[in-house]
Structures are given as C-alpha cells and as structure tokens.
Amino acid sequence: MPARTSHAMTQRPFRILQYGKMPLPALDHELAAQYDVTLLSEQSDPTRFLTEQGATFGCVVTSAAMGLPGHVVNALPNLKFVSSFGVGFDALDKASLLRRGVRVGYTPGVLDDCVADMAFALLLDAARGLSAADRFVRRGDWSRQRFGIQTRASGKRLGIFGMGRIGSAVARRAAGFDMQVAYHNRRPVDGSPHLYQPSLLELARWADFLVITAAGGDATHHLVNAEVLEALGPQGFLVNVARGSVVHEAALACALQEGRIAGAGLDVFEDEPRPLPALLAQDNVVLSPHIASGTHETRRAMADLVLQNLAQCIATGQPLAEVPWSAEAAAALQAA
C-alpha cells in the first residue's frame, strides 16, 4: 500500500521559506505543521542553499525585525508573497520586492494598544523617574538622601509624530491624563479632533512630551535631529516606540548629556541590539529592548495574522493585510 499523503500536503501550492525563527516560538511549530517549511537560518551554507533551491519557493515568512534583504529576494525567482510578523517594513528590501511584483502581508492593528500602552509607560517613567527611583532604593540611597523632584505628566502638552493607528491609540490614552494633543503627519488627518502642526519642528516647540509613532524608512530617517531636540527644549521629553532610525541617536545622547532636553524613553534604537554607550550612562533616559508589542495577547494575534495572510494569499493571491506600497504596486501591475 502506498504511503498516505495528508490533505494538507496535497493542497500546498507553494513551498515556504522561513527566513529565521519567529518572535513567538509557537508560530514556528504552527508553520511547520501546516506547510512544507525550510528555515534558511538553519542551513549550513544559506547562499549555496538559495542557489540550489531558491527557485522552489513561492512564499517567504519573516519578521519586521529580521526583514528580507535584496540578495535573498533575488535568489527566489518564483517568489510571489512575503508574510511578515510586525508592522515595520523598513527592513524589507522594497526596491527588490516592487521590481518583482511581490505581495507583502504584515500585521497592523493587532498591536496598536500594546504599543500605545508602552508609549505611556515610557512617558510616565521618564517624567517621574521610576526606573531611576527603583535603582535609588535598591542601592540603599534612600536612607542617606532624598530622591529628586520629578515632572508631572497630567495636564501637559503631548505631541505625536505619526497620527496613524498607534498614534491615535496614544492620543486616546492622553485624554485620561487631561493632556492637550497635537500631531504632525505629511498631511492632516480627516476628522481628527486634535491640533495639526504643519512641521515636526513646530510640533516639538509646542510639546512638553514628543511621542514618535511614525513609520521607519528613508522618508523619516533622522527627522528627529538636533534641531528638533533643541525645539523640544530643556523641559521636554522624547518617547520613541516607532523605529530607531527616525531619531538621530548621537544627537539625542548629546542633548540628554547637556540637559538640552529633560529626558527620554526609548524602546527602539538605530543599531539594535546595541544602543549607543552614551545612552547607557545617562540616568535621564529609560531604555527597553524593543518590547512594545511583547505581550502574550498581542504576539498571539500577530502570529494568527501571519498565518491568515499566508493562507489567503496562497488561496486568492492577495493577503488579508497588505503593506501599502505592496498593494499600490500590485494595482499598478494589474492596470498595466
């Protein structure tokens, strides 16, 4: 009797290349259970493997942190779809993917609340010095001196750079702190009740707290620079839960060292996992290891959307949630 072939195996139109281990280990197991998955990071010679077998893959699964470099895209001549775990897509080689007409799915929406929660956690910690106070108590300093007076957050001005889904979630939380909210985008958001500032510099001048929720990539690279930090001023605080590339990290370190801004809360960095050493030495900056979406609930929802994007694109050619530039390129190809 011939060996039985599962229904799932007979229905697989594509072989799946997984670029690396997923942030949620359960997703690794679920992908392997549902598809014919090969993990590129486990190959002894990935370049040789891609040369020999790259043409056998139609789909890639990756994450926003890992991205997908151009040399991998170019080694997959039959690549039709990428399913990415995360909302950032600046680490995906956009030019290579667009040139090939590859559809790209990602996981927006499901992580908005946790990232917005993290933005406020960093904001409150930076303003009230919670992490510094914790170190103060643990060192035994409390018995010898008083901890310094900190800054109130409620009732202050909150500036949001990037009023998308996550920025809007941050603004909703600000209402509970009786904060005034303003924002800067490339253009005003229709129907937004919040003050629109026509430039990032003007937003920084207006704000007591400047929260970064803008997308990464070339268009926003180092937009938060020394001039913006100077505008934020010695009583102002910076919070970044977006991408490290949006902030000029060396300029930020200097501003913190010289007291040109009051403090910062950072979940993302330019060269992860290596923040500038100057930041590590500063007591007026709170650092976290890119964990804004790192809750059980959110990571599970992200994993589910990775699987849904993959299944739908295999079935219909279009993911459930598609990276905007991927969708635009696909529409242009269809119209041509």
Active site residues: 243, 272, 290
Q: State the sign of the Cα–Cα–Cα–Cα dihedral 191, 194, 196, 199.
A: negative
Q: In one letter, which amino acid is 60?
A: V
Alpha carbons 59 and 76: distance in angstroms, whole number: 9
Determine the angle formed by the axes of helices 296-316 and 112-128, rounding to 10 degrees: 150
Tell me phi and psi for residue 138, to 5 degrees: -65, -35
| Closest by Cα among 97, 29, 8 to 59 | 97
DSSP SS3 for 12: coil
Other CB atoms within 10 A of residue 258 CB: 9
Alpha carbons 239 and 176: distance in angstroms, whole number: 18
> Cβ distance 201 to 223 under 8 Å?
no
Residue 61's Cβ-side half-sphere holds a number of Cα atoms within 13 Å equal to 33
Q: 195-196 and 209-212: which strand pairing?
A: unpaired
Secondary-structure breakdown of the chain: helix, strand, coil percentages, each rounded to the nearest 5: 45, 15, 40
Alpha carbons 256 and 126: distance in angstroms, whole number: 12
Alpha carbons 259 and 241: distance in angstroms, whole number: 22
For every residue of 40-62, DSSP letters joined together read GGG-SSHHHHHHHHGGGEEEEEE
> Cβ distance 107 to 86 under 8 Å?
yes
